A and B are shown apart, each in its own frame.
Chain A
Amino acid sequence: MTFNFFDNDLTTLHDKLAAKEMTAVELTQATLDNVAQVDPQLEAFIMTNPEAALAQAKAVDDKQDFTQTLAGVPLALKDNLATEGIQTTGASHILEGFKPVYNATVVDKLQAAGAISVGKTNMDEFAMGGSTETSYYKTTANAWDQTKVPGGSSGGSAAAVAAGLVPFTLGSDTGGSIRQPAAFNGIVGLKPTYGRVSRWGLFAMASSLDQIGPFTRTVKDNALVLNAISGFDAKDSTSSEREVPDFTAKLTGDVKGLKIAVPKEYFGEGIDPKVASTVKAAIAQLEALGATVDEVSLPHTKYGVAAYYIIMSSEASSNVQRYDGVRYGFRADDVKNLEELYIKTRSEGFGDEVKRRIMLGTFSLSAGAYDAFFKKAAKIRTLLIEDFNKVFADYDVIVGPTAPTVAYGLGEEVDDPTAMYLADVLTIPVNLAGLPGMSVNAGFVDGLPVGLQIIGRPFDEATVYQTGYAFEQTSRLFEQKPAIAKHTLS
C-alpha cells in the first residue's frame, strides 16, 4: 500500500485514525513506501528514519489517544531542526554524520502531540540559498516540473508536501525560505511572527530573523500545525510569552470589511508581468468577497535586500563560527596544528554560498566597515519597520506577490549570487520587521504556481489565515495535483 495525502487533509486523517479505519503503523509504513517509490524523481528527502517513525507509530496505536489532531499523522522536518539520535546536517558536509543529543523544541512539541516524523528534508546548505541547489547532498526538483527548482532554502519540505508525500512539513524562514518555496510549489507556507515559535534546536543562521513554520496544502491544516508548535519556551529567550490563540478561529470564509493594502512597490521593476497579473486577479477576488483594497506605499522596500544581506551575513558568519571540526561532524585530515585544523576543516566543509556569506558578514563587521555597513543596515531596518507600522495603522493585511517570478530552471541562477539575492526583495522586509507572512497559491503561469503573499500585524497570524482561507476556499486551487502526485494510490 502507498498513500497519497492529496485527498486527505489533517482533519480527515485524524478522523480515519480515531475511527480505526487505519492504524498509525499502517499509515506510517504507507508513507515510507510512497517516499521510497516517488522520491527518486523528486529528491526531497536527505534521509528517512523508518525505525524511529514506526516505533513512534506503534506507541500511538498502543495508547489510542486521539484527542490531539496530529496524533498518528506523519510529517517531515527540514534538516536544520535537531532530532535526538537522528542525523541532522543542515545539508552541509561539515555536519555529515552529526547526531544531536536533544530535540528541537518544535520536534518535542510535535512528538508530544503524537505526530510522527518520517525523515529529514533537503535544503540549501545551512539555509543559505533560494533554490535548494547549495545542498551538499543532492538537488531537489519542483513538484510541478522536475526540470525546475523547488525554491529554497526549504525546498525539500515544500516539494514533499506538494507531491503528496507527507501531509505537512516544517521549514525555517530567514528571508523568505518558507514562503518562496511554498509559492514555487503551489502550497501554503507561513513564517510566523518573530517569537511565536521557539527557535531552540534550529541551526541558527541569522538569530534576529529566523523563524520556524509549517508547509501544508491548505490554510486550515497550516493553522492546525501552528497551534501545535507555538508558544513560550524557556530555552529561547526571544520566544514570546503572549497567549497562543486558536489559529483556526477566524477561518469562516468571510472577509467582508477586511482592509487590504497593496504596496505599489511590490509590483515594480523586476516583477514578471504574468506573475503580477495573476496576483492582481487574486486580489480582485478578495475584493469581490467584500474586502476593501487600496494601493499604499512602502517606500524603503528597494533597500531591503541590501540591509538584509548585511544583517543576515553578519549574524550568520558569527553563528557558523561554531563549526570548526573539533566537537562534531567533519574534520579535515593531515593537519599540523589546531589552527590548521580549523582552517582546513572549514575550507573543505563549507560550500561556496556559505563561504560567500561568511566573507560578507566578516567584512561588514570588520573594523572600518561596521558603521558604514552593519550599523547603517540596522538603521534602514528601523525605516522598513516604520513603513509597515504606518500602513498597519489603517489596514488589516498587506498583500502582493511572494516572488518576482515562477520557479526557474535547475542550474540557471545558482552561479549568479547577485541575481539570487535580488529575487528575495518581496519576502525580506517581513523578516526584518518580524511580521507574520504567508504564501498561498494564486494560480499558474505556464503550468507553474504563483504565490500570493499575505502579511499581517505582529502576532496576528489569525487574520493572515482568515484572508488566505477565504481566497483558497473560493479559488479551490489546492485541489489541483501535480503529475507526480497523480500516479500514487490514495
Chain B
Amino acid sequence: MSETTISKEEVAHVAHLAKLAFDDAELEQFTTQLGDILNIFDTLGEVDTTAVEPTYSVTENVNHLRQDVAENWHQKQALLDNAPESAAGLIKVPAILDGEGE
C-alpha cells in the first residue's frame, strides 16, 4: 500500500455521503486530521495478508430463528412522545422536495 493522501475535495465528498456539513475551516481541519490518521492506517501495508481470511465477527453463534410474532408493539404514544414533531398520530417531517409547503 502506498501512502494514502486525502484532499479537501475528497473530504467534502465523504461528508456529503455521511450527511454532514462543514464550513471551510472545519474542512481544512478534518482534512489534516484525517490525513494524519490515514498515515497510521497505512502501516497495515507492511503486513503480507494475501493468504489470510478476514474476520468480521468473533461470535460463535449461528443465526437464531424465532416465530414471526409481534410483541411489545402497543407503545405508539410513548414512541410519538419522543418525536420532535407529530400530528394525527404520525411523526411529522418537512417536505421531501422544496416548495411543497406544509
Ranked nearest first, the 10 interchain pairs of A and B with the lowest CB-CB distance are A378-B54, A434-B58, A331-B84, A379-B49, A328-B82, A238-B59, A379-B52, A362-B18, A381-B55, A382-B55
Q: Are A418's CB and B37's CB within 8 A?
A: yes
**Can you name 8 A-B residue pairings with CB atoms under 8 Å?**
A234-B64, A306-B44, A336-B94, A342-B19, A346-B18, A376-B45, A376-B49, A381-B54
Q: Are B18's CB and A195's CB within 8 A?
A: no
The CA-CA distance from A337 to B98 in the complex, in Å, is 6
* CB proximity to A under 8 Å, residues B24-53: 30, 33-34, 36-37, 40-47, 49, 52-53
Q: Name B's interface SS.
A: loop
What residues of A have a CB within 8 angstroms of the CB of B78 in the complex? 99, 101
Knowing A99-B81, A102-B72, A327-B91 touch, does A355 contact B98 (C-beta < 8 A)?
no
The CA-CA distance from A82 to B95 in the complex, in Å, is 31
The residues of A with any CB-CB pair to B shorter than 8 Å are 98-99, 101-102, 194-195, 208, 234, 237-241, 300, 302-303, 305-307, 309-310, 317, 324-331, 335-344, 346-347, 350, 355-356, 358-360, 362-363, 366, 372-373, 375-383, 385, 417-418, 421-422, 432-434
Q: Are B37's CB and A309's CB within 8 A?
A: yes
**Count of B interface residues, CB-CB < 8 Å:** 56
The CA-CA distance from A417 to B37 in the complex, in Å, is 8
- Does chain A have a CB within 8 A of B60? yes
Interface contacts beyond A238-B59, A358-B18: sample of 9 additional A-B pairs, CB < 8 Å, sorted by A: A208-B56, A208-B58, A327-B91, A341-B94, A343-B19, A347-B21, A359-B18, A381-B55, A421-B40
Q: Name A's interface SS.
A: helix
Which of A303, A340, A383, A433 touches B52 (beta carbons < 8 Å)? A383
Q: Are B20's CB and A378's CB within 8 A?
A: no
Q: Are B49's CB and A380's CB within 8 A?
A: yes
What residues of A have a CB within 8 angstroms of the CB of B49 in the complex? 376, 379-380, 383
Q: Are A341's CB and B93's CB within 8 A?
A: yes
Smallest CB separation, A375 vs chain B (Å): 6
Q: Are B44's CB and A307's CB within 8 A?
A: yes
Q: Are B61's CB and A238's CB within 8 A?
A: yes
